[in-house]
Amino acid sequence: MKNRSNYSALQWKIYLRIILFAFIALLIVALISYLADFRFANWFVAFLQNTFEMEFHIAQRIYMRIIRNNIDYLIYATFGVAFIILSRFLLLKFAKYFNEISDGLDVLVEDRGDTIRLSPEMAFMEQKLTTIKKTLEKREREVKSAEQRKNELVMYLAHDIKTPLTSVIGYLSLLNEISDMPLEQKQKYIQITLDKANRLEGLVDEFFEISRYSFQSDSLIKESIDLYYLLVQMIDEFYPLLSSKGKEAILNVPEDFIIYGNPEKLARVFNNILRNAIAYSTDNSPIKITATAINKIDETVLIAFSNEGNIPKEKLTAIFDKFYRLDSARSSDTGGTGLGLAIAKEIIASHGGKIYADSDGKYTTFTVELPNLLK
């Protein structure tokens, strides 16, 4: 029904033209019929007499030979000529439509910025071509964006790996060149080298992780997860880091709160959010973790991490971009790679959910929304 309504304007235009051509054909038939009428015969004979000074019987004989005796042929010939002329006009109109569509396709193929314009009765086709044009432009932007992200990945990979790698090579060179280095100093250099090597390994792992999420879609193995137990374990792991800054994580989650998803991936999401909250929250302040079930029909879960510390509103969306760091002064040596929240966003999206951040000027809250995961 929708397609029929789209073509209705064009159909009516064609119908009206056919009716017009049929009316013209009727006029031609009427005209030919008039040629056979005796009144036309009298007029034709009189015309010959007056114009060419012919005698009556000669003019009458000419009428009979030229018109009366050939009336059938005249009708056929007139219809033929009329049909050719009317068909020509109809085909010219159709050719106009095809030319307009061809011009619109040229705009698409040549990737011109011109606006596609068709006749009013072809508005449905104009809309479809415009939609295709916008889709192609969107895909081109996505391709360029993907290419830019790939270039950024290579650039950041080279930059962030170079620093710890340079340190590793430097300290190993010192250890190799100075054979009689004091044991205490040697142990210090070995420890620094090990730390840098571990940092380098972590960077490589993170880059591989974000590349995997960016360029392929893994099928998630989901299972029931005890959210309370998962978060308790995570808080215990972060206890040394929390206590060193006078912070604590306050968990407000029911003990029997069960969600459905990939435990390893979701644990990484919560880990990244909590790590970010510790890094950018005020010292000696609590980090509150809550979980609630909303919309019982659709079974949606909200898991929120709230901490004291403001994030400017213009940065609330950017923080989920790859390689974005809130504090530009932090290097990959002292801060993260800027991939943690980007990876979290990819994981939650693969679960069919979303992650977002809000800030009221004093407190910042990261919320994970997981639809259809509550058991």
End of a domain among 179, 198, 215?
A: 215
- Give the structural domain span for 344: 223-371
The amino acid sitting at 305 is F
Residues 345 and 228 in one domain: yes
pLDDT tens for each residue of 299-347: 788 999 999 887 777 677 767 766 555 544 344 444 455 567 888 888 8
* Contact yes or no for 366/304 (Cβ under 8 A): yes
CATH of the domain at 367: 3.30.565.10
User: What local confidence, expressed as pLDDT, does residue 298 receive?
Assistant: 56
Pairwise CA distance, residues 14 & 38, whole Å:
39
How much of the chain exceeds pLDDT 90, in percent?
8
Pairwise CA distance, residues 14 & 153, whole Å:
57
pLDDT over 60 (residue 251): yes
Residues 205 and 243 in one domain: no
Confidence of residue 216 (pLDDT cuts 50, 70, 90): very low
pLDDT over 90 (residue 289): yes
Lowest mean pLDDT among 22-26, 180-184, 244-248, 259-263: 22-26
The answer to whether residue 137 sits within a structural domain is: no
Pairwise CA distance, residues 251 & 291, whole Å:
9
Residues 237 and 267 in one domain: yes
Pairwise CA distance, residues 101 & 124, whole Å:
11
User: What local confidence, expressed as pLDDT, does residue 296 receive?
Assistant: 57
Pairing of strands 363-371, 300-308: antiparallel
Residues 31 and 94 in one domain: yes
List, in sequence order, every residue forming a beta bridge with 261; answer none if it has no partner.
223
The answer to whether residue 150 sits within a structural domain is: yes
For the chain, the 3-state helix, strand and coil shares in percent, each to the nearest 5, are 65, 15, 20
Alpha-carbon torsion angle 160, 165, 171, 176, nearest 10: -170
pLDDT tens for each residue of 186-204: 888 888 888 888 878 777 7
User: What local confidence, expressed as pLDDT, does residue 229 receive?
Assistant: 93
End of a domain among 114, 131, 161?
A: 114
User: What local confidence, expressed as pLDDT, does residue 77 receive?
Assistant: 76
The answer to whether residue 320 sits within a structural domain is: yes
Residues 240 and 211 in one domain: no
Residues 183 and 251 in one domain: no
Nearest to 296 by CA among 372, 201, 216: 372
Ranges 65-79, 94-108, 144-158, 174-188, most confident: 174-188
User: What local confidence, expressed as pLDDT, does residue 290 receive?
Assistant: 93
* Contact yes or no for 102/122 (Cβ under 8 A): no
Pairwise CA distance, residues 192 & 35, whole Å:
114
For the chain, give the mean pLDDT.
77
Average of pLDDT values for 357-374?
Answer: 81
The answer to whether residue 125 sits within a structural domain is: no
Residues 22 and 160 in one domain: no
End of a domain among 215, 246, 267?
A: 215
Residues 253 and 156 in one domain: no
User: What local confidence, expressed as pLDDT, does residue 333 receive?
Assistant: 46
Confidence of residue 368 (pLDDT cuts 50, 70, 90): very high
The answer to whether residue 131 sits within a structural domain is: no
CATH of the domain at 181: 1.10.287.130
Residues 306 and 283 in one domain: yes
* Contact yes or no for 343/210 (Cβ under 8 A): yes
pTM across the whole model? 0.50
Residues 230 and 339 in one domain: yes
Residues 185 and 251 in one domain: no
Provide the domain count of the chain: 3
The token pair at 253 is 């989650």
